Structures are given as C-alpha cells and as structure tokens.
Structure 1
Amino acid sequence: MSGAIRALLLCVFALSQTACATLSTYEQAQVEIRVAVARSVEIDCNREDACARPSPLRALGERAAGLTPSTVADDPSVVAAAPAAGLAEDAPPAPAATAPASASPPQHYALMLDYGQDALLARLDLIRGAQRAIDIQTYIFDEDDAGHLILDELLIAAKRGVKVRLLVDQLAALKRVDTVAALAGAHVNFEMRVYNPVLGRARFGYPMYALASACCWRRLNQRMHNKLIVVDGLVGVTGGRNYQNDYFDWDARYNFRDRDILVAGPAVADMQAHFEAFWDAPLSTPLTRLSDVGRLVLRQGVPKLQHPAPEQPRRIELIGRDADDAALVRSRLVDAAMPVRDLRYIGDLPEKHDAVDDRNATSSPLLRDLIDTADERVLLQTPYLVLSKPAQRMFHALQQRSSPPRVVISTNSLAATDAFIPYALSYKYKRRYLRDYKFEIYEFKPFPQDAPIDVEATGTVDIAWDADGTPSVLGSGGSGAGSGSGYRGIGDGSRSPDRPTPLAREYSALRYSKRGSNEQVPLKRGGVRFGLHAKSLVIDDRVGVIGTHNFDPRGDTYNTEALVVIDDPAFARALAASIERDMAPANAWMIARRDKPPVFSGLEYSLAKVSELLPLFDFWPVRYATSYEFTPGPDCPAPMSPRDPHFRRCYEPVGDFPEVAPVIRPLTRIFTAFGAGLAPIL
C-alpha cells in the first residue's frame, strides 16, 4: 500500500471518529443545564393576547373559522380542531370560548402570494399578530437580511408570551453553529429542532459531507422539503418559499419568481397536525442533542445571538413599517383572498423516510391521480423538468387516449435556472417530452419583462411612481424588468457584494460539486436575474394545486412534500392566469422542434433517438428541439401553439441556450451525455 493511500485512509478514519463522536451522558447533561440557565424567562407582556397588534390576516382566519375577534383571542379550540395534535403539552392554558350564534359557519379563504414582498409582508403581519403560537417548518433558513429579520420577529413574539417553534432541515439550516447554539438558549418560549441531522451535527463541511455520502447516502438525501407556517391555528402558509433573500426579491444577483398559498379555514387544522407529526418525529432533533452545538456550549457557554450589519437597512425598516400598516395589508392581501368551496391540505408524513420506497408517499400519487383526471388541459409549473419513471408512464398513457388533454409546461431556461444539472438532464429528454408526451414547453427568461417581481426591492434600481401608479426605473442593474409591487420605495439603491449564495436550495446532495447544482450559469450580459421556483398545477380550469413538490424524482422518493389542492373554478382560473403570465413572450421562450435538415432528416432523427436512449454517451450533436422567440406582426397578432401550421411564420429560433455565455455550453452537453445516472436524486 502506497504512503499516499495509507495517509488518505488514516485521514478518513480519523475524520469518521471525529464526525461520529457523540456527547457522553455527562456532557449531554451539562449542555442541557447550561442552556436551561441561559434561556431568558422574561415576558414583556401580561395580557392574554400577548400584546399582539391587530392583524388583518389573522382576522381573516377568525372569519373563516366562524369566530369573531372578541371570542377568539384566547380560544384554544381553534387549534384543537386538529386531530389530537394541537399545541404542545406545555403550551400555556387559555380559557375556552364559544363562537356566538351570529358567527358565520366555517369556510375557506385562499390567497395566492405571487410577489416576494407580499409573501414577506404576510409573514410579518401574522407573526406580529400572533397571540398564542407560531409554528414554522422550512427547508432553508439562511443568515441574511430576510433570515435575520424573521428570526428577530420570532424572538420578539416569544418575549411577548407567544410559543414559537422552528423546525429546519439540516442541510439548509442556519449556516453558523454559533447562531444555532445561541438560539438553543435564547428564550424559554422559543424552541428549535433540526430535521435529520446526519452525523448528529447541525452543520458540516465538505470532508464530513463526503463521509456522510459514503456511509449514509440514502439518509443524506432524505430531506424535509416541506415549508409551512401556522399562526394560532387560524392561518397557514405553504408553497415554494424558504427563508432567504432571494425568495423575497432581496438579492442583488439572483431571485426566485415563486408562489405561496395562504389558507384560512378548517384545513389549517390539518396543517397544524402535519407540523406536530414532524415536530414529534424521531428525526427531529433538539439543538442541545447536536454534537457540534453541544461541544461549543461546553467550550464557551451559550453565545449571544449576533447578526452582522444588514446589507440594506432601509428596506428592512420599510417592510417593517408596511407590516404595521393595517390598511395596506388589507388592500394588498386580505381583499385579494378568495372564498373557495373545497380546499385540502395534503402532505407527506415523516414515515415516508422509514421505507425503502415510496409506499408512504402521499403527495406524488395524488398529483398523478389529479393529472389523470384531466380532460382538456394540464397546466404544470415546475422549476426543474426532470420526470420520475411513474410520471413518465402516466404522461405516456395520457397520450394513448382517443382525445388526450393538452399538457402545457412552464419551467426554467438554462439562463434562468439555479439548478444546472437538472436542466442538462431535461435538455436530454426534450424530444421525448415534445414528441412522445406532446408537451408544450415554455422556458422562463432570466430577465422577464412582465413578471410579478419587485426589481426595486433588490436594491439594484431606484423606482419613482408616476401619478397613474406606473413605475419609472431611474437606475438599473441590468434586469430590464420594470414591474414593482406598489410598495413605498423599498431599496436604497446600493448593491450588495457580489458573492455566491451561501446555502444550497433544492439539490443539497449535489451542492459540493465543482459547479454547484444551485449555481447559476454565466450569461452574456450582467444584471439581477430571476428564475422560476413556483410549483403549481391546474387541471381543466377547475382544480388548482400550489405546494412544495417539484414534480421530480426527489419529491417522489426522497423529500417529504406538501400541497394545497383547491377544487374551485374561480381559483383555478386565477392560478392559470398567473402561470400563463409567466409563459407570455415577454417572460418566456417557446421550446419546439428545430427545422428539419434539408436531407436525411429521418436518419438524423433515428440516430438522435438511439443516442438519447443510451444511459451514457449521449453525444449526438444535434438535439431535437430548440428555443424560439415570438415575433408579433400583422400576421402574428398573438402567440400560438408550436403545432400550428403557421408557427414558423411567427417564431424565430434563438438557439438552444439563449442568453447563456458560450463557455458553459460544452459543459451542459457533457452533463447531458453522462448525467442520466443522476436522475433518481434530481
């Protein structure tokens, strides 16, 4: 055995001993004692409503529950509507109350949160209006302006007397062990747990990640992808957004066009019950039981919670001021909530991670069953168009019908995506998607011109508002997108440092590759760009779905996911209009078959198909499809289907990877050729 190999093995052995070392019983007891002593017990309020300020969104929850503000303030029966799983056993007791006879019967309200600033405003309104309990479950919680803002608000609520619980997946939890240790001892009303801490740690770097990959590959990939916030058992929010700047249009380089759904009504009880199931799951680990947190506490005690100076203090001040403006919250959010007739919350439970297959999965079979009911159109929006084997079989069967429904897909382009590897795999199967499954694919542009985004909030532009309410861009970071949310001037015009995003997103298990799966590819021009992150589905303009599921293999077998399913034509049409806006020519390219070569077109197609079917070495140089730009004119008044006989009259090819710098194109083709084996974890 060579010296180099022997040294490598010794390093691996030493690392494994360090990484897997747990605290002794005595050390664990000492950690618990130190954290318990450090926790503040100070309560700033002695009122039964925890000195909550009036919340229009919480009031919407009261209305949906058939309760009036005067009777719901300390009514635990709202939360107890969930099956046995309400607040934790140690939650402060409150006297029961009964809704008056004049109260309206329970019903559901649903509010789509398309704008990032609306989504942040809703969270702040709910947190500041909470009177008893705030439960948050999320995949990513970053230590940036957005993450720090929410953490500070949660701790303020805890000091008011609100019971706060925060459950975060390990791979995307807070990035500093000091922060996690500080939160362990922050306040008696604040409790945080980490889901599935591989190697028993809150955080680990690349060497330990490599060890975890070698010893525990499946467990490493089993992630809690659910996102949920429930306040007082009255209002719940789920959808695509995590707690990070780029989910709220606060990043100066790259932001997500995302979508959440706010729910008020009986289904919130199911949201609460699902949170309880995850909170009590064996994989949900209290912070004091994490070895790196415990050793830090033993070494230096419980640190104080410290944040670096915010990148843009002005926008934090302004969004906080907006959250206290009840009239603004009502006009922007409450007034936009829709009464809906049939709403369900469906979520995978932690037991999904107990099985070696997807027998305990709930969300994936439900999605396939819903799609199978379509008669006219399936409208699907996903950031990563990589289909699992069951999904491929379903779409293939759909096309065997005598009158199959249209299948319209909104997804990312290579220029817009934050997940380079999944796009390369999607690129490999474009022929199958277009020809076999008859997909109509629209790929989101990195600089959309008419999307529900707040360019002003990124801090890269200044916007003035004209008398008629339209925005005027005064300075630009290069986006060219000019739509704002209508807020007071958020953003101070400064630009945050050009730094990589610190945490992985959907594909954490690949984030240590040379080109991280969450890293954006270089473009031909600069500027703040946007990528799709919304996960939504509309069936026949009658059923709408918003959730966390990317309709991908990870969601089928590895990640736990959650969905809100609404059987209501008005809501389905509103959701469809939101997705169709993302597919408009100003915001997306159409994907269609490239022009046939003048000779041997049949032979070229056959060879390309054979190459695609190979698990590796798919090196055929010419792909079946390419990107097209709509060119309006007298003969082309509106966009059309790629199957329209006049399609090429109105659409011009713009290449396979428009806007992408040439240097990245060969790498994309390499992953297309060799990356098929990665599909199960994408």
Structure 2
Amino acid sequence: MNAVPRGLTALLVLTLSACATLSPAQRDRASQIAAQARSNQIDCDAADACAQPSPLRELGSKALAASTPEQPRHYAVILDRGPDALLARIDLIRGATHTLDLQTYIYDEDDAGKLVLDELLAAARRGVRVRLLMDQLAALRHIDTLAALSGAHVNLEVRLYNPVLHRARITYPQYVLAAACCWRRLNQRMHTKLLLADGRVGIAGGRNYQDDYYDWDDEYNFRDRDVLVAGPVADVMGTDFELFWSDRRSVPVERLSDVGRRLISDGVPALPKTEFERPKRAQAMLDDAANAETVRERVAAHAIEVGQVRYISDTPDKHRENSDASALASDSLRSLIANSRKEVMLQTPYLVLSKAAQKLFSDLHERPDAPRVIVSTNSLAATDAFIAYALSYKYKRRYLREFGFNIYEYKPFPADAPIDIAATGATLPALGLPGLPEQQEPPPARWRRQDRSSVAYPYQYRRPLSREYVATRYARRRSNEPVPLKRAGVRIGMHAKSMVIDDRISVIGTHNFDPRGDHYNTESAVVIEDEAFARALGDSIRRDIAPANSWVIARRDKPPVFSGLEYSIAKVSEHLPLFDLWPVRYATSYEFVPGPNCPSPLYRTDPGFRACYKPVGDFPEVNLGVKSLTTRMFTAFGAGLAPIL
C-alpha cells in the first residue's frame, strides 16, 4: 500500500474514531458508575459548613444588610495583582458556607489550577455544594483527572461547555476534523469567567485558572485585572450562571465519550496526591489565605463602597442560529461608548475591532464634540497572539486618523507594573528592578530541561492548548509562542479588558472588544457608575500607559518628497483584503524622552510631541527575524482572519 492509500485509510480511521460516541445506555452506565463512586462523607456537621472566617464574605454580608431594593449597596475591589487575585479566590472558597459556582474558559493543571481545585474539593467535603463549569477546549488536560472528579464527592459536579465531537479532550487531528465539519460550533466558546460564593460575593474579569494569570510563570505572565463585587448584584450573577449550567450545551463530564469509556473500562480512578512544582510558594499562599488579617490588608481594605452595580452577560442563547441578536455584552458596551461625552479609556490585549466597533468609533470621531479615546493594548514584543497584533498593525492609520485613537502599546518588561516578579520564581538575568529576593526554590523540572542560552526560542515557552485564541490554538508550536526578543527576562503581556468612560462609568470584564466577542464567544462584564471607583480604575490604566510601561503609537515623520502620494498608495493598499504589500506603515512606536522642556508625557496630537518623543521602530525590543517577516505577511494576507480573531 503506497503513501496515498495509507494516508486516506488513516484519515478514515481517525474520522470514525473521533465521531464514535457512547450509546445512551453507555452514557447512563458511565453516569451510574460515577454516582456510585461518589463519597457522601461530610467532614463537618455545623450549619456554616465549618467555613473559615472570611473578610471578603463579610463584605457581602455588610452590603446586603445596607441594601434596599430602591438603594442597593455594594463593595467593589479592583484585583490588579495576580497573587492577590488568587488569595481572594481561596479566601472566598474557604469562607463559603453553602454554595460555590466557578465558571471559566481555561483551567490548567499547573500549580494555580491544582491549588484552587484542592480548595474546591475541601469545600465539597465539608458540606458546600460546588459546581465547576469549564469550556471544553481549555478544560483540565487529563481524562483521568476529569474521570476522577466525576466520582469524587456528592457535593462536587463538573460539566464542560459545548463539547465538540462529544469528547472532553480533542487531539490536533481531531481539531482539524472538527473545523472541517463544525466550524461555527467549534468557535462558539464560553469566554465568561466567574467565581460566586454563597450568592453574595463574586469575582469577574479576565483571569483564567493558570499560573501565568497569577504571576506564577517564570517565562511569561499576564498583566490582568478582575473585580470582586459584594452585594445584591451577586444574585444576578447566580441567575446567569444557572442559565449556563442548565443549558443543554453544558454536559456532565462522565457522559462524554472519552471520560465515559474510561469509567466503563476501569471505574473511577483515584485522584492523585497533589504535587506542586514550587511547593514552598504554594504553601506560602495557603498560609496567607489562613490569615484573616493578611486577606483584609491585601484585599478587603481596598474595597470601595458603591451603589448600583450591573452585571451584563451573554447567555447561551448567543450560540443559537440568530446569535447576532443575542450579543448582549457587545451591544451594552457599544451603547456605553456611544453615549460618552469627554473621554473613553479602553484597555484590550488584542486591538482587532469588529465592523460594528469600527463604525462606532468612526461616528464618535466625526462628532463636533468628539471625546478623547485612549487605548491601552499590547506591543508585538508583549503579545501572546502575534497574528492578532499583525491585524492591528495593518490598521494603525485607520485607528489614528479615522478613529482618533491615542494608542499605547505595553512593553514586555514594564518598569512599573503591578506584577510580582519575585513570585514567578524565575532564574533569569536581572531586569533592572530593585529589591527582588534571590530564588528560594530550584526551577521546576519542565524548565530545568530548557536551554536558557536561547533567548529567541526556549524549549517550551507556551503550551499551545492554553490559548485564548481558538483560531491559533492548534497551530504549530512556534506559532503559539510570543516573538523572540533581544534580551531575556520575565515577559509581561497585557490581558486586562477594562474601560472608563467620562471619569464616571467603569467596566471590567472578559470582552476584548473584538469580532470573536461580538459573534462567537459569550462575554460578561461588571459595570459600575461611581466616580471614586472610576478614578481608581482610571489610575490603574494610566499607570499601564505611563512611559515606563508603554510606547506611544503616532504618525511617522513624513518623507521629504512625495509624502501625499506615499500616503494615498498606503491607504489603498490597507483597504485591500489581500496583497497589502506596501512596506511603509503610517505609524510607528515612540519613546518619551524627559528633559527641561519635556517634564511630563504628552498626547500624540500635542504640538510639542515630536520634541519630547523619539521613534524606536515598528517592533521595539523584538529580535527581528522570522517572526517579524511573518507579522508582515499576516498584515498583507491575513485580513480574512479578522472575524475569528
């Protein structure tokens, strides 16, 4: 048999095996096996399930006690720092007395994921009802883990949202098959993220359950943001979670083909003893969570008392045939922007705007009283999705000229960011940041194999199955890595999705303000109309766009001759869906140069801008090479990817 028949045979076998599902009787049998194995032992008989005193749960009690239907009261905390965001989650889990609902896009089996999972299991065993809902494409990595959880305890339920091919996990070839047969369903993902404790305190925002969202990765971490809200809005969050949990797309893991077969053939596997890659760091986090004063000092003390809080969220109805009519989050956010008067401050990791968003900002800019629009996003050096950056790079002229954006691109090594570099455990060259303690634990095994002399392509930089961008999740390994840089260090990438409007309205959520958020992903956001909270969130974003942390994007110097012709050709080339091959872009990156005549940063439209800023190139800090060429190729040919990016 030659190569072609062998390949066709292999493809046929793969197709049949991938599409093979359990019969109804087999699903029932797997469910029965899981149910019979679940322990019903409760470690506590107290009415409060032996909950640990929780300063964050106390915020919920205070807010509910002060609220009336006419005048709700809430407490809100901006969770900028990764370790504090993890600490807040553990405190809420330990302080829950009745229910815990966790909804997420990515749930990894690394230290952060294992630590939270241990806490959820402990809560279930002391009598708290725990429900864990994960999107299928980025759920726990191992079938045995899912099978073990399916039969772990009567108080723990685990479901996966929208499982393609009736499986919990799919391989690379199966992903290709799913893309061929079910492209729209494959891309319809649950991007909503929520942790809700006792229906009174919730955490929502950009963070998933993975080390790099909590400053625990020694190569690449996200500068992200959540908001903790305590008060009546938690009831709305609970109703929204219930819609997802009870939807037909949310499937108990034991009823999926691969998990079900594991249960039928071998029964429920035992959960292995948790082993952390950095046990000292994990134990330190657990010790902090056991200390109410530490939680109060690091999180609860920063609560801001506010009035009305809204939780806007797409429901699973978005994934029906008329999905555009159900994009509640996108419609709500666009309405807030359209009604702005003075300023819109927008933060998104991926500046790839949908057509509706482009029209919104174009109309906004044409208003005689157009508000200032400030955009904080990633540079090519910082982003984890270089294809998305390439599309952003393509439309810089449009963003600056037609939408009036003031764009700030995040640096990969920000000098003043709310990132705990010491917590990463990295053993890399100094970043010029003072006061970092020496490494206390040896690098984990997965990094000890790495050749750190290779700054350009480390051994295992980013795990492809942990991608937020579905379209590139199963691409080649190097397509899933951040671009190589000129120097080593713990790289930071922007992942926060936030907005401040007119110094009065604040938004923290999951929406990247991109086509995926409009058409494919379910998204959610917390909206708070309060000047004090808006001031705090605005200060946080302004810190991110400060010269120490971001470059400014502005028009490059005009060529001495034929500048009008060059601009016209570039504009025509930009509007082509393919073959945008004009080599010169309208804009480039600038660095602030302080001096006697330049005491503080300026907007790009200020007359003195060019006297105080120097151009640093289109891709500063990037080790120009293959990825730079690839970025330009996607700029030229990748416009068709915009709807799924």
Query: Shorter-chain TM-score: what band?
Result: over 0.9
Measure how far apart 1:372 and its partner are: 0.7
Q: Which residue of 2 aligns with 1:676?
A: 639
Measured at CA, do residues 266 and 483 of structure 1 come closer, stay the same or move farther in structure 2, by a change above 3 Å?
farther
Matched-pair contact (CA < 8 Å) for 1:110–1:262: yes
Measure how far apart 1:518 and its partner are: 4.4
1:470-503 deviations in Å (ceiling 9; x for gaps)? xxxxxx544444588xxxx897353341533333
Distance 1:248 1:592 in 2: 32
Q: Which residue of 2 aligns with 1:592?
A: 554
Give the residue type in structure 2 aligned to 1:672: T
Kindly indicate whether residue 336 of structure 2 is the aligned counterpart of residue 370 of structure 1: yes
Kindly indicate whether residue 456 of structure 2 is the aligned counterpart of residue 494 of structure 1: no
Measured at CA, do residues 491 and 189 of structure 1 come closer, stay the same or move farther in structure 2, by a change above 3 Å?
farther
Structure 2, unaligned runs of 5 or more: 451-459
Measured at CA, do residues 212 and 236 of structure 1 come closer, stay the same or move farther in structure 2, by a change above 3 Å?
same
Q: Which residue of 2 aligns with 1:30?
A: 29
TM-score by length of 1: 0.90
Measure how far apart 1:105 and its partner are: 7.6
Distance 2:477 2:462 in 1: 13
1:239-278 deviations in Å (ceiling 9; x for gaps)? 0000000000000000000000001111110000000000
Matched-pair contact (CA < 8 Å) for 1:315–1:492: no
Instruction: Using the TM superposition, name which of 236-245 and 306-315 deviates more.
Output: 306-315
Distance 1:338 1:526 in 2: 39
Give the residue type in structure 1 aligned to 2:484: P
Give the residue type in structure 2 aligned to 1:598: P
1:639-659 deviations in Å (ceiling 9; x for gaps)? 001111211111111110011
Instruction: Using the TM superposition, name which of 497-506 and 537-546 deviates more.
Output: 497-506
Measure how far apart 1:514 and its partner are: 2.3
Distance 2:105 2:329 in 1: 17
Pick one of 564, 571, 574 that aligns with 2:526: 564
Report the 3-state secondary structure (helix = DSSP H, G, I; strand = E; otherwise coil) of the residue aligned with 2:294.
Answer: helix
Report the 3-state secondary structure (helix = DSSP H, G, I; strand = E; otherwise coil) of the residue aligned with 1:440.
Answer: strand
Distance 2:248 2:523 in 1: 18
Give the residue type in structure 2 aligned to 1:375: R
Pick one of 401, 419, 427 that aligns with 1:453: 419
Kindly indicate whether residue 65 of structure 2 is the aligned counterpart of residue 66 of structure 1: yes
Give the residue type in structure 1 aligned to 2:8: L
Matched-pair contact (CA < 8 Å) for 2:207–2:224: yes
1:361-393 deviations in Å (ceiling 9; x for gaps)? 100011111001111111000000000000000
Matched-pair contact (CA < 8 Å) for 1:627–1:654: yes
Q: Which residue of 2 aligns with 1:440?
A: 406
Distance 2:594 2:500 in 1: 28
Pick one of 93, 102, 109 that aligns with 1:136: 102
Distance 2:442 2:548 in 1: 27
1:90-138 deviations in Å (ceiling 9; x for gaps)? xxxxxxxxxxxxxx98511111000001100100100011111100000
Q: Which residue of 2 aligns with 1:221?
A: 187
Q: Structure 2 matches for 1:205-604, cutoff 5 A?
A: 205-306=171-272, 309-460=275-426, 477-481=429-433, 492-496=440-444, 497=447, 498=450, 499-502=460-463, 503-514=465-476, 518-604=480-566
Measured at CA, do residues 494 and 614 of structure 1 come closer, stay the same or move farther in structure 2, by a change above 3 Å?
same
Q: Which residue of 1 aligns with 2:629?
A: 666
Measure how far apart 1:53 and its partner are: 1.1
1:626-676 deviations in Å (ceiling 9; x for gaps)? 111101000100000111121111111111001111112111101111110
Matched-pair contact (CA < 8 Å) for 2:100–2:197: yes
Distance 1:479 1:354 in 2: 49
Give the residue type in structure 1 aligned to 2:38: R
Give the residue type in structure 2 aligned to 1:500: Y
TM-score by length of 2: 0.95
Instruction: Using the TM superposition, name which of 193-202 and 354-363 deviates more.
Output: 354-363
Measured at CA, do residues 307 and 439 of structure 1 come closer, stay the same or move farther in structure 2, by a change above 3 Å?
farther
Pick one of 609, 612, 630 that aligns with 2:592: 630
Give the residue type in structure 1 aligned to 2:410: F
Measure how far apart 1:602 and its partner are: 0.8
Distance 1:107 1:310 in 2: 40
Measure how far apart 1:356 and its partner are: 4.1
Q: Which residue of 2 aligns with 1:51?
A: 50
User: Identity of aligned pairs, percent?
Assistant: 61
Measured at CA, do residues 215 and 490 of structure 1 come closer, stay the same or move farther in structure 2, by a change above 3 Å?
farther
Report the 3-state secondary structure (helix = DSSP H, G, I; strand = E; otherwise coil) of the residue aligned with 2:351.
Answer: coil
Structure 1, unaligned runs of 5 or more: 69-77, 82-103, 462-475
Report the 3-state secondary structure (helix = DSSP H, G, I; strand = E; otherwise coil) of the residue aligned with 2:558.
Answer: coil
Distance 1:434 1:521 in 2: 25
Give the residue type in structure 1 aligned to 2:603: S
Distance 2:370 2:545 in 1: 22
Matched-pair contact (CA < 8 Å) for 2:383–2:389: yes
Report the 3-state secondary structure (helix = DSSP H, G, I; strand = E; otherwise coil) of the residue aligned with 1:22.
Answer: coil
Instruction: Using the TM superposition, name which of 498-507 and 346-355 deviates more.
Output: 498-507
Q: Which residue of 2 aligns with 1:192?
A: 158
Matched-pair contact (CA < 8 Å) for 2:27–2:256: no
Number of residue pairs the alignment of both structures matches: 630
Distance 1:230 1:631 in 2: 46
Q: Which residue of 1 aligns with 2:92?
A: 126
Q: What's the C-alpha RMSD, in Å, of the aligned pairs?
A: 1.9
1:533-577 deviations in Å (ceiling 9; x for gaps)? 000011110100000000000000000000101111111111111
Matched-pair contact (CA < 8 Å) for 1:315–1:490: no
Matched-pair contact (CA < 8 Å) for 1:201–1:292: yes
Measured at CA, do residues 289 and 495 of structure 1 come closer, stay the same or move farther in structure 2, by a change above 3 Å?
same
1:429-475 deviations in Å (ceiling 9; x for gaps)? 001001111100000000000011101110126xxxxxxxxxxxxxx
Matched-pair contact (CA < 8 Å) for 1:66–1:106: no
Distance 2:415 2:293 in 1: 29
Matched-pair contact (CA < 8 Å) for 2:30–2:263: yes
Q: Which residue of 1 aligns with 2:40?
A: 41
Report the 3-state secondary structure (helix = DSSP H, G, I; strand = E; otherwise coil) of the residue aligned with 1:110.
Answer: strand
Pick one of 121, 129, 142 that aligns with 1:155: 121
Pick one of 572, 576, 580 that aligns with 1:614: 576
Distance 2:162 2:21 in 1: 15
1:328-363 deviations in Å (ceiling 9; x for gaps)? 111221111001122100000000001244111100
Distance 1:645 1:105 in 2: 47
Instruction: Using the TM superposition, name which of 231-240 and 489-498 deviates more.
Output: 489-498
Measure how far apart 1:199 and its partner are: 0.3
Q: Which residue of 2 aligns with 1:643?
A: 605
Matched-pair contact (CA < 8 Å) for 2:114–2:274: no
Measure how far apart 1:307 and its partner are: 5.5
Matched-pair contact (CA < 8 Å) for 1:65–1:105: no
Report the 3-state secondary structure (helix = DSSP H, G, I; strand = E; otherwise coil) of the residue aligned with 1:359.
Answer: helix
Matched-pair contact (CA < 8 Å) for 2:72–2:307: no
Give the residue type in structure 2 aligned to 1:629: E
